[in-house]
Amino acid sequence: MKVIAACLVLVFAAVVQSAPSTRSSFKVKETIIPPRGWTRQGRAPGNSPIELRIALPQANFPLLEQHLYEVSDPFHERYGQHLTQDEVYDLIAPHDESIDMVDEWLGTYGLFEEHFNRSPGRDWVKVKVPISVAEEMLDTEYYVWTHTDGDSIVRTTTYSLPAHLHDHIELIQPTTLFSTLKGMRTTFRFDKDSQINVAANAPPINVPTASGGHVDASCNGTITITCLLELYNAVGYNASATSGNHIGITGYLEQFANEQDLQSFFADQRPQAVGSSFKTIFINGGENNQSLAEAGAEANLDTQFAFGLTFPTPATFFSTGGSPPFIPDILTPTDSNEPYTEWLDFILNDPNPPQTISTSYADDEQTVPVSFAQRVCAGFAQLGARGVSLTFSSGDGGVGDGDPDPASQECFSNDGTNRTMFIPLFPPSCPFVTAVGGTIFIPEVAVSFSGGGFSNVFTRPSFQQVAVTEFLKTLAPGTYAGLFNPNGRAIPDVAAQADLFKIFLGGEAGLIGGTSAAAPTFAGFISLLNDARLRAHLPPLGFLNPLLYAIGQLHPSGFNDITVGNNPGCGTEGFNATKGWDPVTGNGTPNFGVLKELVTGALAGAAR
């Protein structure tokens, strides 16, 4: 690999030397303060390859966003009339002038069409060069940075572009992106001994909204597929294998979904599914090691419950390779330490993506440059416009670090002031995805770790205005002043059970929790709703949030309102669950029976 890297440097050296030396024409494009926990080490090896992702402005994104809201508003005449892939590409295509000017700039470094890849919509260009060349192109210096948790990455805190290109290039990464995509952080507890004992002869729990008006008492100690179907009023609904419906789960960071564990889970909780499985799609060198010793708690949790709830709906597990840390002395040209963007590239280029996709990976919003967060969020908007519903776990740290003790809180800003602030997560803070918080027990209360709060990047979307304004009125004047942005996109949108889930891992049964349980659970019920719509010759639900908030305001029986509990963190008790929407459990947990009647009847839309 070192020989290959050395050759790359020799190839590009002459080109760089002949490139016009116009440093004076460069203007800073982006500068950041490195996030907490990162320490700069030495210069990055100049001969190490780096793949630059160059984002060109999406010329008609405001029009795409308009289409998105129209086809997602249950009261609009276009509801459900999702765009085709080609229609989306036409809307995000950059202006020809931008394409030409970027091509001309790359050409000055000897980079032509045969050297780079374009996205199908022509809004991204990817080109691999030695770091020394990238430094010349961006008038910057790359360093190796190490994190207190042991990760290492190569980044810069500032980069520049020729002034005439600023209107034609939205951003370039990897440069200032210090985010390290992680699974939900604190509440994975694979613990065979943590089961809450419930007397074998305990009577059923009365829950008026549940199937049959009650839930088995055992569900207060162990959550199973049966518990969720009972609690969320879905007993007796049988999905179709041939309706055209499809559900997907994303996997990253070498989280492998084990098929033997899945069969054990099915035998225990979904006997009719024994012998069925899922399709695995490998992206960017992803793998799915089937050794029981390599089974991933996150991957098993997500696939077992999402696919168990929706059987026999065709299911896909997306295994995306590439993960931090970057190891500078192992120069692997195909490696990527931004796996999330690799998945997004793939799914946007898929002509038939699953109608429902769940993700349980995120990072602190403040570690993601605003330009990058906005661009990734725009990618989610494209999927929503095409009829894809995206659910994300809202986080496992309450309003930040999950700690109510002021003496030990770790919620500090990354803007150099080190002020205390609540810490929302991204991508859940993107308004074009559905953020899922957590509950526990029956009757349900908010689970203490349920991530919630307000984005510091994205403003509050119109579909949230009524519900969130009503919540803010319930706060005493000055409550948490300065700790959160009351005008930001509010999180979460909805909730579901999030603890004491019985899964199989490495051949053994045990319990696990986290909003990473809530997201695939809610996604499972959305997939069942999509199945019902497709069987009624209706389009899939697509971008969910306008519909969810309309139901929350006009048909509140579609959700089980959670009014007990809070989500402590950052040295505070966090927010309280209240009547209506709140930043702990959103609009509440699903009542599938009511939602099914709404989305196939009163709110079915005009597109049949």
Contact of 519 with 436, CB cutoff 8 Å:
yes
Catalytic hit among 51, 261, 302, 401: 302
Catalytic hit among 516, 531, 561, 582: 516
Contact of 559 with 588, CB cutoff 8 Å:
yes
Query: What sign does the CA torsion over 376, 379, 385, 390 have?
Result: negative
What is the rounded distance in angstroms from the CA atom of residue 185 to the CA atom of residue 540?
A: 32
For residue 33, the Cα-to-chain-centroid distance in whole angstroms is 24
Instruction: State in Å, rounded, how far the first CA of the chain is from the last one.
Output: 56
Residue 199 DSSP class: -
Q: Distances in Å between the alpha carbon of 415 and those of 123, 426, 574? A: 30, 17, 23
Q: Distances in Å between the alpha carbon of 484 and those of 258, 394, 457, 582, 605? A: 40, 16, 11, 14, 37
What is the rounded distance in angstroms from the CA atom of residue 544 to the CA atom of residue 431?
A: 10
Of 360, 451, 463, 436, nearest in space to 68 by CA: 463
Contact of 396 with 402, CB cutoff 8 Å:
yes
Tokens of 271: 């006997």
What is the rounded distance in angstroms from the CA atom of residue 205 to the CA atom of residue 215?
A: 5
Contact of 34 with 350, CB cutoff 8 Å:
no
Q: Distances in Å between the alpha carbon of 10 and those of 117, 129, 133, 143? A: 22, 11, 11, 21
DSSP-derived pairing of the beta strands 205-206 and 214-215: antiparallel
Q: Which helix (H) or strand (E) element contains residue 2?
A: helix 2-18
298 is catalytic: yes
Catalytic hit among 298, 338, 363, 365: 298
What is the set of active-site residues? 298, 302, 516
